[in-house]
Structure 1
């Protein structure tokens, strides 16, 4: 049994005319210390499935699952207090927009110290010292000065490093990274991915990496889940997926990689799906 086990997860959102199914019977398992990539285009249900695990979806969402367990505990049956103890301490998440995820009214140091005090019961002095250690660990330049900076005074890459520091503050067993490099330039993207992989190895965390970038998948993942329109299309270890994809949609994603381009125009996923006769 894996560290996180999700079986037949379905998420529906209420609409003015009925409901919309965002996740349709997804199965996901991640083992201790494993890097699992969940890949697919926008709207495939990648983020929604993990937000359901975190309990961060709005009240308009209806969540059902045959199983949703973490380390042998049924997440769906935890009280709100028990879930708060679990989420943010043993399971943490990094979101797509680092600046939007940080509170503009407080310094970055205050925000990480608050996490340490609430989750680990540290004193102000202990939290301050640990926050400085974490800022150094994630490679924030001039960490003492940056502890007193507000998010708008830092670059996007620095804010993402702050979010990573907050996420690893309690040394979680499972870290979920939702498109952690989307808003960053290419050079900073690689730095952030390298940092995540180093921290994953140093801390022995399981890492779920949500992405639409097959290049990132190739460089980071042990195993891959491919999603399309709320459904799981394929699951395989990363080498098997790239060498012998079984599903037309997976082949479509791989065909759209720049290195697979032929002629003047890069084929789209829709082009490939049309050739395969798959909608």
Structure 2
């Protein structure tokens, strides 16, 4: 049984111009201990798909699916109270832009402890020990002192590590990492990715990695789902995808890697016939 299984997910937003379909019939699954990458350009519905799983879309969104099963249970059709017990506990998410995701009015210690208060029965002393342990696990020096810091007093890389600590506070079974290295320099990007993979290996949790970076996909993922304009274009294990991509859009993404430049020009997605190209891999 898959850890998370989504069948025919559709997300529509009410806009002044009418209904906007951001996700169109996406199906995917991830197993325990597996890293699934969802890749595609900005606006392809990657983040919206996972925010739908988390129940974090605004009221203007309409979410439908045959099912969204976590450990065999359809979380789309459970009560809000039951869903809150799962989200943040068994399923956690690292959001884009850590500075924007952390509350500037509270210390990072308060924000880590908030998750522990909500989802565990630990007393205050035990929560404190767990917070220090988490800060050490994500590589933040002087953890006791840093727990008293506000987000603006920390670097972007440190704030991203705090976000990871919050996400891992309750030992989730599934971690969703939404562009976890956005806006970080290359050195910090590698540190964050290495940290996530180490923690994922140590805990055995499943991980969904949302990215537009095919280099990150090659280094981290077991399987890949390629999305374009809200639809799944292709699904394959990472080796097959890079060696023999089947869909024109996947070929376009791979051709746009810097090493594939011809002269001073990289191919773009407009160089490929995409609009009528059918889904070609995995289970639709």
Cα distance between partner residues in 2 of 1:252 and 1:171: 38
2:147 matched to which residue of 1? 147
- Give the C-alpha shift of residue 266 in structure 1: 1.8
Q: How does 1:51-200 map to 2 (within 5 A)?
A: 51-200=51-200
When the two structures are superposed, what TM-score results if normalisation uses the length of structure 2? 0.95
> For 2:80 and 2:266, how far apart are their aligned partners in 1?
48
Cα distance in 2, alignment partners of residues 269 and 128 from structure 1: 50
C-alpha offsets along residues 210-259 of structure 1, whole Å, 9 cap, x if unaligned? Answer: 00000000000000000000000000000000000000000000000011
Is residue 214 of structure 1 aligned with residue 205 of structure 2?
no
Please state how far the C-alpha of 1:17 moved relative to its aligned partner. Answer: 2.6
CA contact (8 A) 1:109 1:131 kept: yes
Unaligned ranges ≥5, structure 1: none
1:183: Cα distance to partner?
1.6
Q: Distance in 1 between matches of 2:24 and 2:224?
A: 18
What is the CA-CA distance between 1:269 and the residue it aligns to?
2.1
Stretches of 4+ moved more than 3 A in 1? Answer: 276-279
Runs (5+) with no aligned partner, structure 2: 278-284
| Paired position in structure 1 for 2:26 | 26
Equivalent residues of 1:96, 1:183 under 8 A apart: no
Q: Given the superposition, is the C-alpha separation of residues 277 and 158 from structure 1 closer, same or farther in structure 2, using an over 3 Å criterion? A: closer
Deviation of the 1:143 alpha carbon: 1.1
How far residue 7 of structure 1 moved from its aligned partner, in angstroms, is: 0.5
Distance across 2 between alignment mates of 1:17 and 1:134 = 46
**Cα drift, residue 115 of structure 1:** 1.1
Query: CA, structure 1 residues 277+54, in 2 after alignment: closer, same or farther (shift >3 Å)?
Result: closer
Shift of 1:151: 0.3
What is the Cα-based RMSD across aligned positions, in Å? 1.2
Following TM superposition, by how much is the alpha carbon of 1:71 offset from its aligned partner in structure 2, in angstroms?
0.2
For 1:29 and 1:35, the matched residues in 2 are separated by 11
Measure, in 2, the Cα distance between the counterparts of 1:102 and 1:122: 23
Aligned match of 2:261: 261
Alignment deviations for residues 258-278 of structure 1 (CA, whole Å, 9 cap, x no partner): 11112121222222x15x786
Asked if structure 2 preserves the Cα contact closer than 8 Å seen for 1:248 and 1:278, the reply is: no
Q: Is the 8 A contact 1:91 1:173 kept in 2?
A: yes
Aligned equivalents of 1:236, 1:134: Cα separation in 2: 34
The 3-state SS of whatever aligns with 1:109 is helix
What do residues 58-104 of structure 1 show as CA deviations (whole Å, max 9, x unaligned)? 11001110121100111011111100000000000000110111111
Matched residues, number: 277
Three-state SS of the structure 2 residue aligned to 1:225 is: strand
Deviations 1:132-157 (A, max 9, x none): 00000000022111111000000000
Q: Distance in 1 between matches of 2:237 and 2:208?
A: 14
Q: Residues of 2 paired with 1:183 and 1:74: CA distance?
A: 35
Mapped to 2, the partners of 1:124 and 1:110 lie a distance apart of: 12
